[in-house]
Amino acid sequence: MIHVSRPRKAPQAFLDAAREEMKQVVPLFRRAGGGKPKFAFRAYRTPELVRILEQLFFKKCAYCEGNYAATGYVEVEHYRPKSLYYWLAADWCNLLPSCKRCNNGKLSKFPLLDPRKQARRRGDEKRETPLLLDPCDPARTRRPERHLTFSLEDGTIQAVEMRGQPSAIGMASIEVYRLARPDLSQLRRDWAIRVKAQLRFCKLARRAGTAAEREAAYRGLKDLLEPTQPFRALTLAILRQSGVRTAGSG
């Protein structure tokens, strides 16, 4: 998972659909008095919204950074589940592109540091301390790299140690999003091998290569850092742990 800055402005077609949907949703759920009436939410599936989310995340899952475009399709995911936060079902800041595996793992789970503070109405979310990472959260203390890291050896995802203990936010995010599932871990291992091989090529080219070989080596490394590539957070972690400076991690 890597931080992505969300544009302030949502697609107008989505905003129009969201406004009309909320005119029905809010009165319906208020009348239910804490119950969960059935409602077919549709605004979050607006094609313009889906297209913008895919562009923003380069057709990668917001959680695992896997490329879903070649083998599947995007599922628009609610960071705060719409079953618990109906008023956020069509909120621009609550929607993320997800692969099916991450979405099926999360479902309606939304662990909090203090479950007693779970919001029951709009605005009460400010009292919550979520234990799940949101890749678009602007708070620097909640950036993914502050809570998630990777083994330099095999790309295994881990919670960052904080004061001698693994980050609770990191651990919950790994568990709920299923970021350590075997097939995903194998893809990260393969990617880690590729990145480290390219690093060795760069070091060899710098030490004994021609100008053309050095250019090719560093161009190859730069290609692996392109935002369209999968597992960019892993690539940046390997580079940082190897002492290679990068332009940034966002």
**Chain segment 112-166, per-residue pLDDT in tens:** 999 999 999 899 999 999 999 999 999 999 999 999 999 877 778 999 999 899 9
- Please indicate, yes or no, if residue 179 is contained in any of the structural domains: no
- Please indicate, yes or no, if residue 154 is contained in any of the structural domains: no
pTM to 2 decimal places: 0.88
- Please indicate, yes or no, if residue 104 is contained in any of the structural domains: yes
- Please indicate, yes or no, if residue 6 is contained in any of the structural domains: no
Residue 250 has pLDDT above 70, yes or no: no
Please enumerate in sequence order all residues whose Cβ is within 8 A of that of 50, keeping only pairs 6 or more positions apart, or say none.
Answer: 74, 76, 97
Residue 71 has pLDDT above 70, yes or no: no
For 66, counting Cβ atoms within 10 Å of its Cβ (0-12 exposed, 13-18 middle, 19+ buried), the class is buried
The CA angle 162-163-168, to the nearest 5 degrees, is 40
Give pLDDT, residue 209: 84
User: 23: how many CB neighbours lie within 10 A of its CB?
Assistant: 10
- Please indicate, yes or no, if residue 5 is contained in any of the structural domains: no
Question: How many domains, in total, are found in the chain?
Answer: 1
- Maximum CA pair distance of the chain? 74
Whether residue 99 contacts residue 72, with contact meaning beta carbons closer than 8 Å, is answered with yes
- Please indicate, yes or no, if residue 27 is contained in any of the structural domains: yes
3-state DSSP assignment of residue 165: strand
- Please indicate, yes or no, if residue 53 is contained in any of the structural domains: yes
Give pLDDT, residue 172: 97
- Please indicate, yes or no, if residue 18 is contained in any of the structural domains: yes
Quick one: which of 187, 101, 167 has its CA closest to 158? 167
* The CA-based dihedral angle spanning residues 38, 39, 44, 45, taken in that order and rounded to the nearest 10 degrees: 100
Domain containing 28: what range? 12-142
Whether residue 134 contacts residue 125, with contact meaning beta carbons closer than 8 Å, is answered with no
